[in-house]
Homo-oligomer: A and B are copies of this chain.
Amino acid sequence: MTAADEFEPPELTWRDVTPAAARRMLIAAAAAFAGRGYHATTTRDIAARAGMSPAAVYIHYRSKEELLFQISRIGHAISLEVLTSVDGPDPVARLAAAVSAFASWHAEHHTTARVVQYELSALTPPHLAEVVELRRQIEAAVRGMIEDGVAAGVFDVPDVRGATLAVLSLCIDVARWYRPGGRRTPAEIGSLYADLVLRMLGN
């Protein structure tokens, strides 16, 4: 178990993965990949961490890559949900809330987020294509919120695509530098970043 578990039990992140044995393996795989990297981790390592036999892994997943794909797919889908579940008529408040939620999510789930972001090149082409489609939706969600603010005259952004890239990058990179017990809590990082992003967008 990693420090990420301080904030949210992994059972909650992966709650839609059933049966429980498959969920346990996904949690074990995410921790193992985060610890030593995808290529240095064997299905045997994952099984041992999950307290199961190596053969049991193959009942639920075709391969180690399938485990990585599920972690990546679910991780991206949840972070898209985090971004888009923010609603309201005011573009400024909506973007601030979305950035805050997205940045804190990357602090709270830094272990999963690192695996998801750093091991993309290990996915098979069809799996990568599915993840790339989720990434496109994440990009479109942020770009849409920025465009709404520009249209409403509350943001001043000469390069919307460039600003979108920077906003996403800023939030995602929280997973790299965040340390539990550090100077700022995930919620404090969220509110710092919401403020910095609004300034960046000329609000």
Contacts and interface: CB of A to CB of B under 8 A. Distances in A.
Contact of A38 (B37, B173, B192, B193): B37
Interface range on chain A: under 10, 10 to 19, 20 to 34, or 35 or more? 20 to 34
A152 interface: no
Contacts of A48: none
13 contacts: A36-B37, A37-B37, A114-B118, A162-B184, A165-B177, A170-B170, A170-B173, A172-B176, A173-B173, A176-B176, A199-B200, A199-B201, A199-B202
Secondary structure dominating the interface of A: helix
Interface in A148-195: 158-159, 161-163, 165-166, 169-170, 172-174, 176-177, 183-184, 192-193, 195
A166 B170 contact: yes
A62 interface: no
A114 to B, nearest CB: 8
A178 to B, nearest CB: 10
Copies of this chain: 2
Given A166-B196, A196-B162, A196-B166, A176 B39 contact: no
Contact of A169 (B37, B40, B114, B174): B174
Contacts of A202: 199
Contacts of A172: 173, 176
A36 B37 CA distance: 8
Interface in A106-137: 114, 117-118
Contacts of A195: 158
A39 B202 CA distance: 44
